[in-house]
């Protein structure tokens, strides 16, 4: 299994990091078998798997439950788990307890937290306690209420400078990597250049140290529309719905099951079955 230091090395040698989210045994297993470097158990879980409108309702127990399943499916892949909304803001003790639960019960290798500002001190508390932290700046979905919607961040010089400052503070606080979501490519490039830790982009252009996408967006599973920054590499919706419709049709038309999907009894047993 790769370690945080391997991701630093990948940045130094300019090998891009491929990260994808996964939420359960099959998505984790497929991700590991496909050679992804990092699996993120994202709190996007709330939207793409649990059907909520945002990531805000996701609980620490949801994250632990799903991280355990991911671990069983991807035993040799570095797993990062999102700390959910409001589990790393109240105080150090609550933050450390929540992260410890994710690492100990969920068996994640690291946690991810969103935002700069007061979150920086939590990153420091976590890393000095031995818990690797991935930071997350730019569009931070947990604070979508404050940001006023899912929009590109850091478009003005002022906002961009603030983001660069926050990014440097995340690195200084001990984060081993930074997710940068939905920012102009010029800003992402600058952040990646200024930081020695890898910058993993989503909607941040190509001039960063790695990419992350949401599993269900990437293979078009259960989602109808995907954001501009997503490239869909497969159409699982089409594949699965074709199979399901065929199944329903065959059940109704008595084409399923056939002999080969059916068990039989021996003739001599049958004679006694009816008494
Ligand atoms: O929850 C998630 O899927 C994420 C990624 C989009 C980075 O945080
Ligand atoms: Na997330």
Q: Answer yes or no: do 194 and 247 share one domain.
A: no
CATH value at residue 174 = 3.20.20.60
The percent of the chain in helix, strand and coil, each rounded to the nearest 5, is 45, 15, 40
| Average pLDDT over every residue of 44-63 | 97
Q: Which ipTM did the prediction report?
A: 0.99
Indicate the pTM of the whole model: 0.96
Rounded to an integer, what distance in angstroms lies between the CA atom of residue 66 and that of residue 58? 11
pLDDT tier, 269 (very low <50, low <70, confident <90, very high otherwise):
confident
> Following DSSP, what letter does each residue of 82-99 receive, concatenated?
EPPTTSSSS-HHHHHHHH
CA of 273 to the centre of ligand 1 (A): 58
Q: Answer yes or no: do 110 and 13 share one domain.
A: yes
218 within 8 A of 232, measured Cβ to Cβ: yes
Q: Answer yes or no: do 16 and 62 share one domain.
A: yes
Q: Answer yes or no: do 170 and 248 share one domain.
A: no
Residue 200 phi, psi (nearest 5): -105, 120
Rounded to an integer, what distance in angstroms lies between the CA atom of residue 141 and that of residue 55? 7
Q: Answer yes or no: do 67 and 30 share one domain.
A: yes
Q: Can you tell me which residue has the tokens 């038309």?
A: 253
CA of 154 to the centre of ligand 1 (A): 18
Tens digits of residue pLDDT in 131-155: 999 999 999 999 998 999 999 999 9
Rounded to an integer, what distance in angstroms lies between the CA atom of residue 155 and that of residue 160? 6
Ligand 1 pocket test: which of 141, 203, 208 has the largest number of ligand atoms within 8 Å of its C-beta?
141
Q: Answer yes or no: do 158 and 205 share one domain.
A: yes
Q: Answer yes or no: do 255 and 227 share one domain.
A: no
Ligand 1 site residues, Cβ closer than 6 angstroms? 21, 40, 42-44, 82, 179, 181, 202, 212, 214
At 112, list the tokens: 């991810």
Q: How far from 102 is each of 41, 80, 106, CA to CA, in Å?
A: 11, 10, 5
Q: What is the reported pLDDT for 267?
A: 85
Q: Over the chain, what is the mean pLDDT? A: 97
Please tell me whether 235 is known to bind a ligand. no
Instruction: Say if residue 55's pLDDT is above 80.
Output: yes
Rounded to an integer, what distance in angstroms lies between the CA atom of residue 98 and that of residue 89? 11
Nearest listed ligand to the Cα of residue 180: 1
Instruction: Say if residue 271's pLDDT is above 90.
Output: no
Q: Answer yes or no: do 181 and 246 share one domain.
A: no
Q: Which residues pair with 20 in a beta bridge?
A: 39, 213
Q: Answer yes or no: do 245 and 156 share one domain.
A: no
Identify the residue whose C-alpha is closest to ligand 1 atom 2. Answer: 42
CA of 44 to the centre of ligand 1 (A): 6
Rounded to an integer, what distance in angstroms lies between the CA atom of residue 199 and that of residue 220? 25
Q: Answer yes or no: do 131 and 248 share one domain.
A: no
Q: Hey, which residues are catalytic here?
A: 181
Q: Where are the alpha helices (DSSP H) in the chain?
A: 4-12, 25-33, 45-48, 60-73, 92-104, 119-128, 144-147, 157-172, 185-194, 215-218, 236-252, 267-273
Q: Answer yes or no: do 262 and 184 share one domain.
A: no
Please tell me whether 207 is known to bind a ligand. no
Q: What is the reported pLDDT for 167?
A: 98
Please tell me whether 82 is known to bind a ligand. yes
Q: What is the reported pLDDT for 275?
A: 62
Task: Kindly compute the dihedral angle of the four CA atoms of residues 31, 37, 42, 44, in this order, to the nearest 10 degrees.
Answer: -60
Which domain covers residue 146, as residue numbers? 4-234
Per DSSP, 19 falls in state: E
Residue 5 phi, psi (nearest 5): -65, -30
Q: What's the structural domain count of the chain?
A: 2
Instruction: Say if residue 107's pLDDT is above 90.
Output: yes
Rounded to an integer, what distance in angstroms lies between the CA atom of residue 255 and that of residue 96? 57
Q: Answer yes or no: do 260 and 208 share one domain.
A: no
Residue 105 phi, psi (nearest 5): -80, -45
Rounded to an integer, what distance in angstroms lies between the CA atom of residue 175 and that of residue 131? 10
């Amino acid at each position: 299994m790769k370690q945080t230091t391997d991701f630093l090395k990948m940045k130094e040698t300019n090998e891009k990091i491929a990260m994808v989210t996964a939420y359960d045994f099959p998505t984790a297993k497929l991700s590991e078998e496909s050679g992804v470097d990092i699996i993120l158990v994202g709190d996007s879980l709330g939207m793409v798997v649990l059907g909520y409108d945002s990531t805000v309702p996701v609980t620490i127990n949801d994250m632990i439950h799903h991280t355990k399943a991911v671990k069983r499916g991807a035993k040799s892949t570095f797993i990062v788990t999102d700390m959910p909304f409001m589990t790393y803001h109240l105080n150090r003790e609550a933050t450390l307890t929540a992260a410890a639960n994710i690492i100990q019960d969920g068996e994640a290798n690291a946690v991810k937290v969103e935002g700069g500002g007061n979150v920086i001190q939590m990153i420091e508390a976590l890393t000095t306690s031995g818990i690797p932290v991935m930071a997350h700046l730019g569009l931070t979905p947990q604070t979508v209420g404050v940001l006023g919607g899912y929009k590109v961040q850091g478009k003005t010089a002022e906002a961009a400078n603030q983001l660069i400052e926050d990014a440097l503070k995340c690195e200084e606080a001990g984060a081993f990597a930074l997710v940068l979501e939905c920012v102009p490519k010029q800003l992402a490039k600058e952040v990646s250049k200024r930081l020695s830790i890898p910058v993993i982009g989503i909607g941040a252009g190509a001039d960063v140290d790695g990419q992350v996408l949401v599993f269900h967006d990437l293979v078009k599973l259960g989602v109808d529309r995907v954001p501009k920054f997503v490239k869909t590499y497969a159409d699982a919706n089409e594949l699965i719905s074709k199979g399901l419709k065929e199944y329903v049709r065959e059940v109704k038309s008595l084409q399923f099951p056939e002999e080969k999907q059916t068990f039989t009894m021996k003739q001599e047993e049958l004679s006694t079955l009816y008494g």
